[in-house]
Structure 1
Amino acid sequence: MNDLKTENLLSIINTTMNYMSKDLIGHCMRVTYNLVCILQDDPRFTYQEVCKIAWTVLYHDIGILEERSVRDLLEEELEIKNGGFSHAEYGCLFVKYFSSFPEYYEIIKFHHSAYREFKDLDIDDKIKDVIVTLKVIDTIDLYNIYKQQLDIGKMKWDAYEVAIAKKVNTYFENKKEMSQKEIENNLACFLKNMILSPIQKYKMLKILAYSFDFKSRVTAVHCTTVVEISSMLAKLFEVDERTYKNICMGALLHDLGKIAIPHHILESTGKLNEEDWAIMKSHVTITEEILNTNVDNDILQIAIRHHETLDGMGYPYGIIGSQLTLPQRIVAVSDIVSALSQERSYKSPLSLDKICSVLNGMCQNNKICPVVLQMFLKNKDKIYKRILHITYETNIMYQKINEDYNDAMRQKV
């Protein structure tokens, strides 16, 4: 993870978030950059604080579960339904439980809420200012996307919010026009002097991976179990440290492109038609577009080859077995084991014996690596026990997030 530079991490986050909605391309990056420009001139904030807030705000729309139009977002903002957007309530929980900077989760939680919703809460006054400033910047950007001019007088904002909105308007009036690439470069330049640990970088990528897995209870544990199985197999093969880290990172990122796949396809209870199956398979090439040039090529190839098979009949590129490395084969088998061991919308979880039977059949048909399969079979009880433990822990977290979300929404009614 030390090889992952600030600009590459930013690019991965930005590109992934862009795939959540075609109407919101560049939105998270622009909003974050404009907030940074305002906060860096505020003497109440240290450089480190501004950076932590920036890394947090990049995820301010991570709770959006489905493609949404800017028109819908603007209409809800004007109406302030139930005191705020549900995606803010849901998204803040990813920051609270998975982020490197969970202390700032309330910035996400309230970024579409009326000031009255949080003014009496035990939140630092300067953070309350950040929340309202983010809300205004976010709203202005949504209006700009829709080619509309924000009229502060039409917003249901109180005097405190209007005062901050006027300051933000002054900033935009004096701000020079920039391309999206200039904004991304300038933000990376600002953030690069804050050294992130490998664990902090990993957590930032983990938020992205979990954001689509946690769309549903039946997919919530997939990424976690793929990483765990891959990690265990890599250790059993006694790969070197760099290869081990590459395997774990490739496993974490292997389904990143699913963030662009519609929920009804991911959760289909029946066989997908030809069109939907093509969309589902596109998650691999989307993953490639997100990661390409941003991660080491070994990690990239591990991530995008998990659906390739030894006989060359896999996707997306039909690569044959002689071109598939051991790390790629490990993650491919781990992905299959995870899928077979978990409940899906179209099936129940399989027993260990049934999983082994399916894997043996795939090996006989020249689909998966016999060497990796034998290592799995030799250690199947230990690996399966770990799968069950990880499944239990992740389901507890999934339930916790949904309980927190439902509790928060009930309080708004």
Structure 2
Amino acid sequence: MEIITSKNLGKLLVNTLKLIDKRPMEHGVRVAYILLKMLQCKGGYVEYELAEYIILAVLHDIGAYKTEVIDNFVTYETKEVMAHSIYGSLFMRYLTPMKEKAKIILYHHIDYEKKKSIEYEYMNISDYLSFAERLDLHYNLIGPRFDYRVLDRYENKKYSSESISLFRQAQIKYDILGQLESGKYVDEIDQILNYILFNDEEKKQYLEMMMYTIGFRSDYAVTDTVTTICICREIAAILKISEEDSEKLYYATLLHDVGMLAVSPKILDAPRALTQEEIMKMRAHVSITENLLKRFLDPEVVKIATAHHERLDGSGYYKGLTDADMDMLQKILQIADMVTGMINKRSYRKEKKKEYIIDVLEKEANSGKLSKIIVKIFIRNYDEIMSKVKNESNKILQIHTKLNTQYSLLYQNFY
């Protein structure tokens, strides 16, 4: 089954990150358009190559979501810019199929005169990206009055003469600045995305990358998602769920909390129990998740993902579904999500013990809120399940740890 098309995957990535702050992604789309026209003007690229560079350009500032405060977008682009370049390149290297091209992001804030001696296959693309980014920042700040020829003074210093020349040709041929002003550039980006060709494994990598973006808001959220995935996998295996249904459950669990990106970190990491107002804001993540995913993802996966806080007696949220409205996969995720919320520590409390978790699950099942069958199976296999969950989650989280460790080392080398 196809969980998501290649084009929709690209759109889902962008719209997911917009939940945190739309400015870096809007900037990324404009930069991607400028780069696209420069590459088309140069020639020699087939459409799927262009589409891949466009995805990279749109996401070139992804590291800023982790390393910067984006209250003032221009400020974050002009001060200590290497932090987000380093994190962004590592994020793309470890979590996407674009491992070789990830350094394009690493070098995009280094002046041409400093990087021209570095041996790297895609250094010219990094230089074009540098120019496209700076052009957009100036144009977005000044508007139609901006004269791009002011960047000529940086020829062979900040930017190569080739980058400047390519843009001039592309501006004459395509009226890039006019398209940016009119907003028509968005349609061209949408068209080029039709040529993205991700195989199933690449789609899986990008969707898994989205799980790690939740860590831009809160590190514990990544741990929670990984734990929930592993619990669901073990329960599904015991219940002998089909391969197709297991796949649906996996992707639903992977993305079930993506709406948390729209919730303030002050709420997510509050060192205390939440107020009623904060609880309502937190609960909104489910409807936010649904409104995002339903535009791009398989409806069955969305249905599973957005029912994780529902309860069989209708007391859950946000739709108040009942037992008759829900299937086995939704019920598995509900239990796994609840267990995760207890087994993992929070900023205001320690993790709960086995006896406490079992007691809560039995009470919820006996009161008609959770599936008695699934709860009974989980409790019967508790030790085995949680042992496997611990081992598997540690393996997955090693990637996250490695990324952050590499970031610290590279950052120290640059400063």
- TM-score range (shorter-chain normalised) is 0.7 to 0.9
SS of the residue 2:12 aligns to: helix
Change in 2 beyond 3 A, CA 1:242/1:361: same
Aligned twin of 1:123? 120
Q: 1:38-58, CA deviations, whole angstroms, 9 ceiling, x for partnerless residues? A: 224434545444333333333
Change in 2 beyond 3 A, CA 1:190/1:154: closer
- Corresponding letter in the other structure for 1:34: I
Change in 2 beyond 3 A, CA 1:189/1:3: farther
Contact 1:94 1:211 in 2 (8 A): no
Higher mean displacement: 243-252 or 127-136 = 127-136
Aligned twin of 2:393? 391
Alignment partners' CA distance in 2, 1:154 and 1:193: 32
SS of the residue 2:101 aligns to: helix
Higher mean displacement: 42-51 or 12-21 = 42-51
Aligned twin of 1:52? 52
Whether 1:167 and 2:166 are equivalent positions in the alignment is yes
Aligned twin of 1:10? 10
Whether 1:288 and 2:287 are equivalent positions in the alignment is no
Alignment partners' CA distance in 1, 2:385 and 2:201: 24
Give RMSD over aligned pairs.
Answer: 2.9
Q: Compute the displacement of 1:99 (Å).
A: 0.3
Q: 1:23-46, CA deviations, whole angstroms, 9 ceiling, x for partnerless residues? A: 346333333243233224434545
- Corresponding letter in the other structure for 2:296: N
Aligned twin of 1:328? 330
- Corresponding letter in the other structure for 1:322: A
Contact 2:15 2:292 in 1 (8 A): yes
SS of the residue 1:4 aligns to: coil
- Corresponding letter in the other structure for 1:2: E
Q: Compute the displacement of 1:131 (Å).
A: 1.3
Q: 1:330-378, CA deviations, whole angstroms, 9 ceiling, x for partnerless residues? A: 1111112223222322222233333222322322343322222122123
Alignment partners' CA distance in 2, 1:137 and 1:160: 15
Alignment partners' CA distance in 2, 1:320 and 1:151: 60
Which of the numbers 198, 202, 208 marks the counterpart of 1:200? 202
Change in 2 beyond 3 A, CA 1:154/1:39: closer
Question: Which residues of structure 1 form unaligned runs of 5+?
Answer: none
Which of the numbers 395, 402, 405 marks the counterpart of 2:404? 402
Change in 2 beyond 3 A, CA 1:253/1:151: same
SS of the residue 2:370 aligns to: coil
Pairs within 5 Å for 1:138-153: 138-148=133-143, 149=146, 153=150
Q: Compute the displacement of 1:95 (Å).
A: 0.8
Q: Compute the displacement of 1:184 (Å).
A: 5.2
Which of the numbers 114, 129, 132 marks the counterpart of 2:127? 132
Change in 2 beyond 3 A, CA 1:387/1:37: same
Change in 2 beyond 3 A, CA 1:181/1:2: farther
Question: Which residues of structure 2 form unaligned runs of 5+?
Answer: none
Tell me the TM-score normalized by structure 2.
0.86
Alignment partners' CA distance in 1, 2:387 and 2:183: 47
Contact 2:23 2:73 in 1 (8 A): no
Change in 2 beyond 3 A, CA 1:188/1:25: closer
Change in 2 beyond 3 A, CA 1:261/1:146: farther
Aligned twin of 1:30? 30
Q: Compute the displacement of 1:145 (Å).
A: 4.2
Contact 2:331 2:370 in 1 (8 A): yes
Aligned twin of 1:269? 271
- Corresponding letter in the other structure for 2:412: R
Whether 1:99 and 2:96 are equivalent positions in the alignment is yes
Change in 2 beyond 3 A, CA 1:214/1:178: closer
Which of the numbers 339, 346, 356 marks the counterpart of 1:344? 346
- Corresponding letter in the other structure for 2:52: K
Q: 1:159-188, CA deviations, whole angstroms, 9 ceiling, x for partnerless residues? A: 254432453355345235279996555435
- Corresponding letter in the other structure for 1:102: K
- Corresponding letter in the other structure for 1:313: S
Higher mean displacement: 8-17 or 146-155 = 146-155
Which of the numbers 304, 315, 318 marks the counterpart of 1:316? 318
Contact 1:91 1:109 in 2 (8 A): yes
Q: Compute the displacement of 1:151 (Å).
A: 6.1
Whether 1:372 and 2:367 are equivalent positions in the alignment is no
Q: Compute the displacement of 1:274 (Å).
A: 3.2
Contact 1:20 1:259 in 2 (8 A): yes
Pairs within 5 Å for 1:215-230: 215-230=217-232
SS of the residue 1:315 aligns to: coil
Pairs within 5 Å for 1:74-113: 74-78=74-78, 80-81=79-80, 84-113=81-110
Percent identity between the two aligned chains: 23
Q: Compute the displacement of 1:60 (Å).
A: 1.9
Which of the numbers 237, 251, 255 marks the counterpart of 1:253? 255
